[in-house]
């Protein structure tokens, strides 16, 4: 039995990938080394600005992290031609622009992690770390960088 394609899975989830966003400065969107694809940090679409726990709730942060995941998927598709070339999500690191009293950065990053599991199934299970940050570029609420086996 053939595995379901990732493109079909995205369609079933109601996800339409945008064009891959351009890097915010002089660096590559992604780099492939020895079968690993490293995606530069991506934020949510629409470029919202503000801090979790001050301007945004945990639930809003979850949606921002999910949106950043969709941006990452667009970069993967642009780089690989097909998301079916992803063998596994390896590592995710999230940075949450948070008020110092905000204690739920891990719940925010679940938006990205849940998306990877929905899209890639068991291949979406990954190692992860998340950090609360006092500031992020352009005052984005979330930035996520990630590593994939291809």
Per-residue pLDDT tens over the stretch 28-80:
999 999 999 999 999 999 999 999 999 999 999 999 999 999 999 999 999 99
Could you give the CA distance from residue 2 to residue 11 in angstroms, rounded to a whole number? 17
Residue 119 backbone dihedrals phi, psi, to 5 degrees? -80, -45
Does the pLDDT of residue 1 top 60, yes or no?
A: no
Nearest to 89 by CA among 26, 17, 145: 145
3 state SS for 66-80 = HHHHHHHHHHHHHHH
Q: So what's the pLDDT on residue 24?
A: 81
Q: So what's the pLDDT on residue 3?
A: 53
Query: Tens of pLDDT along 9-25?
Result: 999 999 999 999 888 88
Q: So what's the pLDDT on residue 123?
A: 97
Query: Tens of pLDDT along 89-137?
Result: 999 999 999 999 999 999 999 999 999 999 999 999 999 999 999 999 9
Backbone φ/ψ region at 138: left (φ over 0), alpha (ψ -120 to 50), beta: left
Residue 124 backbone dihedrals phi, psi, to 5 degrees? -90, -10
Show the domains of the chain with their CATH numbers: 37-149 (3.30.1330.40)
Q: Are 66 and 111 in contact (CB under 8 A)?
A: yes
């Amino acid at each position: 039995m053939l595995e379901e394609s990732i493109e079909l899975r995205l369609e079933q989830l109601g996800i339409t990938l945008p064009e891959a966003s351009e890097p915010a400065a002089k660096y590559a969107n992604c780099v492939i080394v020895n079968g690993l694809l490293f995606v530069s940090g991506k934020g949510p679409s629409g470029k919202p600005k503000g801090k979790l726990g001050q301007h945004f709730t945990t639930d809003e942060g979850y949606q921002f992290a999910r949106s950043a995941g969709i941006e990452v998927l667009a970069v993967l598709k642009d780089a690989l031609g097909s998301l079916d070339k992803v063998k596994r999500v390896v590592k995710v690191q999230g940075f949450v622009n948070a008020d110092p009293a905000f204690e739920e950065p891990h719940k925010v990053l679940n938006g990205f992690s849940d998306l990877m599991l929905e899209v890639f199934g068991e291949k979406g299970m990954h190692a992860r770390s998340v950090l609360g940050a006092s500031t992020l570029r352009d005052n984005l609420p979330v930035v996520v960088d990630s590593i994939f086996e291809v």
